[in-house]
Structure 1
Amino acid sequence: MADTPKSGESSNIDMSKLISEMSKLSSHPFSSHSLPTSFNISSLFPVPMDRTNYLSWKSQFEDVLEMHGLATVIKNSTYPPKVQEDGSVHPKLAKDKLVLSWIKATSSSSIKTLLIPCTTAHQAWTMLAKRLSPLASTRVRILRDQIRTLRKDNNTTVTDYLNYAKSLFDSLTQAGVTMDDDELISYVLDELGLEYKELATTLHLHPDIDFDRFYDLALREEHLQKRMSLIMASGMAMVADRASNERTLNSNIPSHNHNPHHRSGRGRGRGRHWNQGRGSRRTEHWEPTQGAWFSDRHS
């Protein structure tokens, strides 16, 4: 009895051994001889996979497999060997069961029901692609139609319009369908209108431009058009102000054309009887500064 450890001590020793063994397994998560058993894959997939998010789940799940060196597991169509010569579990079977458990752990309850007959990761992966492919095909058709019928209203900026088109293109690529940049650019450019005819000419001269380069050129063209609009608006405002100032100036200047005495011979010092002197001095002559003029008495 003295040599028998207490229950609490036995529990502590067992737990320490378990932690030690797990640390050995997780010390080299990328090694081909150890499996990432302590890795919690559910933390990367807070939303379980179902028929609505299958494509996004598939893309992220493939990234996880590549990160742990398990991408070839879902491609192996043969059944992995179960045990080795020494009777231990074969590493290929352990990898296959690990990936299969990850698929089930990140799936919704309805998808888990479909996965019950699957005994390998390859079977589960193939079945999911087969069962969920009709939805993927419908999604692809919708994305293609949205790209072909792109519309840009007056309230939408070119930046938002291009970002929306790029998001559709990325979703189509994620679904496993490829589209050439030339085809996408042609759909996007048709809706920009005649204001971007110079950009269309540039693309015609350089047909090897990809969508990212086209994106930069379109944003630059939008910036130039906004700048020209501001310059034209500023010039029109200056012309309007100048015309208003000229009208105001002309209205303040008195006009001489309406003077009733202008060029009528009744200037300053010439009254109504300007040619009548004082008393009998009517016949006296008047000498201006230039030349001499004598009044004709008989005239």
Structure 2
Amino acid sequence: MPSLSISNCVTITLNGQNYSLWKTQFETFLAGQGLLGFVNGSVRAPLPTVSVPGINGTTTERPNPEFQQEQQNWLRTNSVVKSWLLGSFAEDILSVVQHCSTSYEVWHTLANHFNRVSSSRLFELERKLQTFQKKDKSMSVYLRELKSVCDQLAAVGSPVQEQMKIFAAMNGLGREYEPIKTTIENALDSAPSPTLDDVIPKLTGYDERLQAYLAENTISPHLAFAPT
């Protein structure tokens, strides 16, 4: 029976926006514990009978002598995995799986819920990505929100290519970012082409220097109109 505290390994609470990130963390944890089969279906509940091969290629069903112990172990481990799953959900997600009796049912009900492709939802996310603007957001918040939109598109079966993520990030920046945008555009022609994660430090570094420059050159209004 597994005993490792999952709170140290799965740090994301599943809500309506972060299914892809949550799923990655949970799959990694379960795989490391040898329990992924309880949610992907490769570890099924034990059967009360076993097939015994006979003569002439026939088989006979006989009572499984280990059934009681196997069932007890399976039910115990399944309950632990299911408890881990439910404990990582936001309250509104719990209502989606309240009818599920096994961890496998919980897992696949979630997949169907989040991966159900709706044309209106897909259009909404694609439009949001194309029109995303930094405006008065900090660079870190801007990029985090943009990555969230990309994650949501991946969750509905429409993953965004890395170059398109970068173009979307640069498209939402104002004219004051033209120097760094030009540098990044030139880098896209190199091999291997950079990913959004490669570009993020360049954007945040440039933004920090830009904000520092603007702060140093800001003129206080009462000084600007002081008599000479």
Aligned length: 197
Residue 179 of structure 1 pairs with residue 154 of structure 2: no
Preserved contact between residue 114 and residue 156 of structure 2 (Cα < 8 Å):
no
For residues 149-204 of structure 1, give each alpha carbon's deviation from its aligned partner in whole angstroms, at most 9, with x where no partner exists.
Answer: 21222x33333322322333345456665322211111121121222222222122
**Matches of 1:223 and 1:189 in 2, distance apart?**
16
Unaligned runs of 5+ in 1: 1-34, 235-239, 245-299
Residue 166 of structure 1 pairs with residue 147 of structure 2: yes
For residues 238-268 of structure 1, give each alpha carbon's deviation from its aligned partner in whole angstroms, at most 9, with x where no partner exists.
Answer: xx99xx5xxxxxxxxxxxxxxxxxxxxxxxx
In structure 1, give the amino acid aligned to 2:79.
S
Q: Percent of counterpart pairs with the same letter?
A: 21
Preserved contact between residue 81 and residue 92 of structure 1 (Cα < 8 Å):
yes
In structure 1, give the amino acid aligned to 2:205.
R
Shift of 1:69: 0.8
Which residue matches 1:146?
A: 128
Of the three residues 77, 88, 108, the one matched with 2:66 is: 88
Preserved contact between residue 73 and residue 96 of structure 1 (Cα < 8 Å):
no
Of the three residues 195, 205, 226, the one matched with 2:176 is: 195
In structure 1, give the amino acid aligned to 2:149.
L
**What is the root-mean-square deviation of aligned Cα atoms in Å?**
4.8
Relative to total residues, which structure has the larger strand share, 1 or 2? 2
Q: Report which stretch shifted further, 211-220 or 69-78.
A: 69-78
Residue 210 of structure 1 pairs with residue 195 of structure 2: yes
Query: Which protein, 1 or 2, shows the higher relative CO under an 8 Å CA cutoff with sep ≥ 6?
Result: 2
Shift of 1:134: 3.1
Matches for 1:219-238 after TM superposition, within 5 Å? 219-229=204-214
Larger Rg: 1
- Normalised by the size of structure 1, how large is the TM-score? 0.47
In structure 2, give the amino acid aligned to 1:164.
E
Shift of 1:138: 6.7
Shift of 1:70: 0.9
Where 1:112 maps in the other structure, the secondary structure is coil
Shift in CA distance, 92/205, structure 1 to aligned 2, threshold 3 Å: farther
Shift in CA distance, 198/100, structure 1 to aligned 2, threshold 3 Å: same
Preserved contact between residue 151 and residue 191 of structure 1 (Cα < 8 Å):
yes
